[in-house]
Structure 1
Amino acid sequence: MARSLVDLLTTHASIHPDRTAYRYLVTGDSDGEIQHLTYGRLAVRSRAVAAWLQERGLAGSRAMLLHPPGLDFISAYLGCLSAGVAAVPGVPPQGRSQNHRALTRMKRLVADADAKVILGGREVVAALDSMAEHLPELDGIARIATEDIPDETAAGWREPELAADTVAFLQYTSGSTSAPRGVAVTHGNLLDNERVITERMGHTPEVLAEYGNELIVSWLPVYHDMGLMGPVLNTLYLGATSTLFSPLHFLQRPARWLEAVSRFRPHTSGGPNFAYELCLKHATEDLVDRLDLGSWKVAFNGAEPVRAATLRRFAETFGEAGFRREAFYPCYGLAEATLMVTGGAVDAPPTLLSPAETGPHAGEADAAAVGCGRPGPGVTVAVVDPGRQEEMPEGETGEIWVAGASVAKGYWRNALATRETFRATLPRHEGRFLRTGDLGFLHDGELFVTGRLKDLIVIDGRNHYPQDLELSAELSHPALRPGCTAAFSVDLGTEGEQTVVVAELAPDMAGESEKVTDLIRSTIGEVHSLPVRDVVLVMPGTIPKTSSGKIQRHATRTAYLGGTLARVTEAAES
């Protein structure tokens, strides 16, 4: 029995070394340049990276991974696991506008993880070397372009001693730049969650044989849990073949995703709800006519609210290309549970519930709630009153709690946050529960996610902490007072979640309101790569706060939607 993914890589490389593990579409186009990585080659490259790390005595430490989209990340990640080094996937700098933000986040992650080495692409490593004198945080941290490690190094690899509770990698939550939290995922967590993904998505030996081992097509970022756990690691877990390409190439031309599914005919592919909306936005008759989506069995949809209107419109538009409504597969997961918690039933349409009814057939309206499926085997989901910490009756909304072997060890070197989030208990249940901070209810054993206890803003599959947006807004103009800004998202139906910023401004600055508004928009756009749907400037003292002075974002959002905010421009005109 395999003790880790390292064991499985060894097995697959031995049994079918020439089978393609991953193909990479260099330009994102299915008819363009394609790179292939076989299991035999993957084992060599991973062991070469592992041996390089072992030779420098880095076993037991952490390695930051900064690779551009491509196959080198996979070899580096598995090289870390093969060396007994905890991998720390990071976002490499991508263009001038993102360099500062990426570098700031990288420095914080390197410090929090206490990384001893940076593995990356040649351009990233060269850029870091050129800036070394201005980056004292990198003093004493080795840097190497993984493609420069020769294959011959693999001969020195020594199989590491890995236990189930050995930390395999740190998955940093993607939103906050001020207080990063690294989820410590163990080798046991990885194996268990891959088992859950395999069972829930129907990735059986018979299915793999039917699909000629073509498992997944994905453009999702591999340094995030959704793009790593399924497209990369479930492929390795099963010894299958998957097709990958850059998220940038998808965003530039969303049709590339559907073209890749049509050409390579995988069993599974998916992304956040916004990805399906992008495809709809760019759909043409010509595109639909030349696609064949009939073999697409699991079209997973997760990481942000799943919208009934999106499912309906996508099935209607691409049904002419063979897409089946039954392929839609809403799911729920989070990094703290390694990834997958619940998933739909393969070959069954999503469960929809209208706001007014609770019957299983009440759900064709676009406003229907979409079920995210049932827990995987060995996973327990409870809906809990967060105040009383007692389970809620079925159908009532509360905080989603999760237990099982996929739940991570905790937050890296953060005992307080680990105790608050990972150590909850419930009567009549053994063991500890993970408090997700998400709200939902259970209906006939299926989970419906309705919102978030925390104020996390999720836009286009990316997480943003409101505190970060508020700070950026307040720093954009001296007339904006610290602690007097609220950022939140609003649901605009088919347009998805959109960002709104409300900030207090003195009435005598009303003449500057247009300038201040433009500065808030441009600052948040530049610093966070996030468009702001609406900026509302209000009178001082009107943003709701708690007795201790904390911003009440939910109350501000309610006032915004109700049109009751005391706008500065309206006060000046009266």
Structure 2
Amino acid sequence: MSTGGGEGGGGSLVDALAAVAARGSGHGMRLFRGDEEAERVTFGQLHAGAGELACGLLERGVVRGERVAIALPTSIDFARAFFGVLAAGAVPVPVPPPVRFASLDIHLKRIALVMRQSKVRVVLSDKVLGGLLEPTLGGAGGEFQILDVAMTRAPSAVYVDVAADDPALVQYTSGTSASPKGVVLTHANLLANVDAIAGGLGIDDTDVSCNWLPLFHDMGLIGAFLSPALNDAETYLLPPEDFLRDPGRWLRIISRYGVTATTAPNSGYLYALRRTPAERVPELDLSRWRFALNGAELIDPDTLRRFSAHFAPAGFRADAFLPVYGLAEGSLAVTFAPTGRAVRSTWVRREPLSRGRVETAPAGAGGEGTETGREIVSVGVPVANTEVRLVGEDGAELTDPSWVGEIQIRGDSVMRRYEDNEPATRATVRAGGWVSTGDLGFRQDGELFIAGRKKEVIIVFGQNYYASDIESVAGRITGVSNGAVLAAGMTFPDGEGLVLVAETKESDAAAREELIARLRFAVSDSLGLTPRDIVLVRRGRLPRTSSGKLQRHGVEEVLAEAGTDPVRPV
């Protein structure tokens, strides 16, 4: 243990922050609320505050390696809490804060499930959120000790030495089901990914980053927070809810402060495009925007083209778009497209692709029918010290580019295990350190193209939702037959969204309309996610396995039969 600058830990995230602080550049993090800066901290102040918080945690009995939950919104407090837990030699477990208008009871049950799996004893929060958590999760004799970050800091700083291979993060995805999987990542894993991101982009201390992604999730935590901070780049943060209220705030910060790098899912760029009138574009200056990373969900090449054309009068360059691929099991970044190059895409025939074959289609062959084409964007090549391979159903590596395979990864950034879940680890971590992603892809000229997902995860606005969670909420609504609901992520002309298909015996049009309204409200209220479409079908219409279980394969046929009239019985 050290009480100085924390320089003896042998390659930890806190050591990396200490090195940035020692430069004395004065760079740091700024939190914006609306269009105005609400709070700022330099990286030097962040490092000092981490040591003070670590001292407070140690005084309260936190020990090296202990998991400590962080329940905070996008804020400077989140940054302090994250590095403070690390400085105490403990391991952060970020959990999502309650979603506005969502069910607090369901939210608390979900995060309690995660915290129990990680054997969390202490939760770092703030006065407001702590007040919501305390009555149910804390209090006298409560399961968890809930601490206010502001009240936990001590007058002196302490930095516990840890090894590079010690755990540094347990990353759970949002929408956790009854069987949550927490990715255990080491200091070495995260530092390798931060270095790979910086190397792939050429980021340095002259860059400025601005992002609105939630910090409890890997894309926000590593892409929007750790990567710029540990490279001494000015880091601007905007709460996700502020972006959703007005995406123009994000663009105005980019314009005003000469932001050079952002990270967002395709739906985020589409949302900003749709909500920015053409007459307001010339008021912006986007000419210094070098990297607009696009990942976490299906990348729509048409969105990239429309965004580029729409914001060209503000100086936005089409080659700023950088399609990327990543996932929590790989820390974050797995592949990057080459920088400074126009987005590359390929057209393939839809019907063979659904069977795992890659056959070229004429460019622009979109439209209805099985013989039409689908345009897929290249997500580039593996980042430094990461390997990617494609395997067939038999687990053998595929070398023929005409076949789609499951994507497997290994390397310095890639996890070795899940938290307290040996069966899931055995099912995911293969011989030789290869990790199955559950994603499907193919290669052309050495570059990776994502064809689809094997995992039952629905991604909207860059956040993951387990289909089983959504179905559980919707299946309890009166009028749904025997809880029979399937949730699916579908691609619409203007982006991705959630579709629900529910069985019902209701045949009256007014009753069916009322059921649709109840389903939409229940999912929105419980999960903070509003279904794009809800389709009602007659009892027994949803596809099932031979044992009677609902089967997601085949739901597309049901949706096609329903057409555009969800009230009409199918």
Alignment partner for residue 15 of structure 1, among 19, 23, 30? Answer: 23
Matched, 1:259 2:258: no
**Deviation at 1:118?**
0.9
From 74, 80, 85, the equivalent of 1:80 is: 85
Could you tell which deviates more after superposition, 237-246 or 432-441? Answer: 237-246
Deviation at 1:304, TM superposition (A): 0.5
Q: Select the residue among 282, 285, 299 that pairs with 1:306.
A: 299
Name 2:72's counterpart in structure 1. Answer: 67
1:241 to 234, 237, 259: 234
Structure 2 counterpart of 1:251, one-letter code: L
- Counterparts of 1:453-464 in structure 2 under 5 Å? 453-464=454-465
Q: Quote the sequence identity (%).
A: 33
Output the amino acid matched with 1:535: I
Question: Does residue 547 in structure 1 map to residue 546 in structure 2?
Answer: yes
Q: Is 1:28 aligned to residue 52 of structure 2? A: no
Q: Would the aligned equivalents of 2:513 and 2:567 in 1 still touch at CA under 8 Å?
A: no
8 Å Cα contact 1:438/1:451 also seen in 2 = yes
Separation of aligned partners in 1, 2:88 and 2:163: 13
Question: How far apart are the structure 2 equivalents of 1:320 and 1:356?
Answer: 35
Structure 2: tracts of 5 or more residues without a match: 1-6, 351-357, 367-373
Q: Is contact 1:510-1:569 (8 Å) kept?
A: yes
Q: How does 1:207-218 map to 2 (within 5 A)?
A: 208=205, 213-218=206-211
Question: Is 1:280 aligned to residue 273 of structure 2?
Answer: yes
Secondary structure at 1:326's aligned position in 2?
A: helix
**Which residue in 1 is equivalent to 2:147?**
144
Which amino acid in the other structure matches residue 420 of structure 1?
A: A
**Residue 468 of structure 2 aligns to which amino acid in structure 1?**
Q
Query: CA 1:3–1:360 in 2, change beyond 3 Å: closer, same or farther?
Result: farther
Q: Contact 2:93 / 2:169 at 8 angstroms: preserved in 1?
A: yes
Q: What residue identity is the alignment partner of 2:453?
A: R
Tell me the distance in 2 between the aligned counterparts of 1:52 and 1:420.
39
Residue aligning to 2:411 = 404
**1:260-409 correspondence runs (5 A):** 260-355=253-348, 367-409=374-416
What is the deviation of 1:180? 1.9
Q: How far did 1:391 drift?
A: 2.2
Count of residues paired in the alignment: 547
Structure 1 residue 563, shift from structure 2 partner: 4.9
Structure 2 residue 473 is the aligned partner of structure 1 residue 472: yes
Change (3 A) 1:74 1:467: same
State the match for 1:428 in structure 2: none
> 1:525 and 1:234 mapped to 2: Cα distance?
32
- How big is each residue's C-alpha offset from its partner over 1:303-343, in whole Å with a ceiling of 9 and x where there is no partner? 11010110000010001111111100000000111100001
Deviations 1:426-485 (Å, cap 9, x if unpaired)? xxxxx2211100111111111111111122211222222222222222210165214x32
Alpha-carbon distance between aligned partners in 2 of 1:91 and 1:524, rounded to the nearest angstrom:
17
CA deviations on 1:131-160 (whole Å, 9 max, x unpaired) are: 457897x43x32221112345132xx1x32
Aligned to 2:532: 533
Choose which of 42, 48, 52 in structure 1 pairs with 2:52.
48
Cα deviations by residue, 1:220-242 (Å, 9 ceiling, x for unpaired): 11111111112211123212221
- Per-residue CA distance 1:250-300 (angstroms, 9 max, x = gap): 111101111111122132113001111111111223421111111111110
Aligned partners of 2:407 and 2:436 also within 8 Å: yes
Measure the CA separation in 2 of the matches of 1:520 and 1:94: 18
CA contact (8 A) 1:353 1:359 kept: no
Task: Give me the TM-score of the superposition, normalised by structure 2.
Answer: 0.90
Q: Which of 420, 426, 444 lines up with 1:419 in the alignment?
A: 426
Query: 2:249 is matched by which residue type in structure 1?
Result: R
Assess if the C-alpha contact under 8 Å between 1:21 and 1:242 holds in 2: yes
Residue 374 (structure 1) shift = 0.8
Distance 1:506 1:563 in 2: 16
Q: 2:337 touches 2:379 (CA, 8 Å); kept in 1?
A: yes
Change (3 A) 1:303 1:566: closer
Query: Residue 20 of structure 1 contacts residue 36 of structure 1 at CA under 8 Å; is this kept in 2?
Result: no
Native 8 Å contact 2:295 2:323 kept in 1: yes
Q: What one-letter code is carried by the residue in structure 2 that aligns with 1:121?
A: D
Q: Per-residue displacement from partner, 1:388-442 (whole Å, max 9, x unpaired)?
A: 44425224211111111111132100000011012x23xxxxx221110011111
- Of 455-464 and 66-75, more deviation after overlay is shown by 455-464
C-alpha separation between the residues in 2 aligned to 1:119 and 1:50? Answer: 12
* Higher mean C-alpha displacement, 380-389 vs 194-203: 380-389
Give, in whole Å, the separation in 2 of the partners of 1:434 and 1:41: 38
Q: Please identify, of 317-326 and 510-519, the stretch whose mean Cα deviation from structure 2 is larger.
A: 510-519
The answer to whether residue 441 in structure 2 is matched with residue 452 in structure 1 is no
Structure 1 residues 96, 267: CA separation in 2 closer, same or farther (over 3 Å shift)?
Answer: closer
Distance 1:511 1:327 in 2: 49
1:189-208 per-position Cα deviation (integer Å, ceiling 9, x unaligned): 111111111111222x5xx4
State the SS of the aligned residue for 1:278: helix
Contact (CA 8 Å) 1:46, 1:75: kept in 2 or not? yes
Deviates further, 376-385 or 236-245: 236-245
Change (3 A) 1:493 1:538: same
Which deviates more from structure 2 when the two are superposed, residues 561-570 or residues 515-524? 561-570
Q: 1:143 to 1:486 in 2, by over 3 A?
A: closer
Q: 8 Å contact 2:54–2:153 — kept in the other structure?
A: no
- 1:440 equivalent to 2:433? Answer no
In the TM superposition, residue 126 of structure 1 has moved relative to its aligned partner by 2.9
Conserved? CA contact 2:325–2:333, under 8 Å: yes
- Give, in angstroms, the shift of residue 78 of structure 1: 0.5
Q: Say if 1:538 and 1:565, in contact at 8 Å, map to a contact too.
A: no
For residues 152 and 343 of structure 1, what CA distance do their matches in structure 2 show?
Answer: 43
Q: Which amino acid aligns with 1:185?
A: L
State the alpha-carbon separation in 2 of the partners of residues 399 and 320 from structure 1: 41
Q: Which has the higher helix share?
A: 1
Contact 2:348/2:361, CA 8 A, preserved across alignment = no
Moved more, 375-384 or 543-552: 543-552
Q: Hey, what's the Cα distance between the residues in 2 that align with 1:104 and 1:532?
A: 22
Q: Give the alignment's Cα RMSD to 1 decimal.
A: 2.7
Counterpart CA distance in 2 for 1:433 and 1:472 is 35
1:48–1:152 contact (8 Å) kept in structure 2: yes
Q: Tell me the distance in 1 between the aligned counterparts of 2:50 and 2:172.
A: 23
Q: Does the residue aligned with 2:390 lie in a helix, a strand or coil?
A: strand
Q: What is the TM-score when the length of structure 1 is the normalising length?
A: 0.89
Tell me if the contact between 1:216 and 1:267 (Cα under 8 Å) persists in the aligned partners: yes
Alignment-mate amino acid for residue 471 of structure 2: E
Residues 34 and 286 (structure 1), Cα distance of their counterparts in 2 relative to 1, 3 Å cut: farther
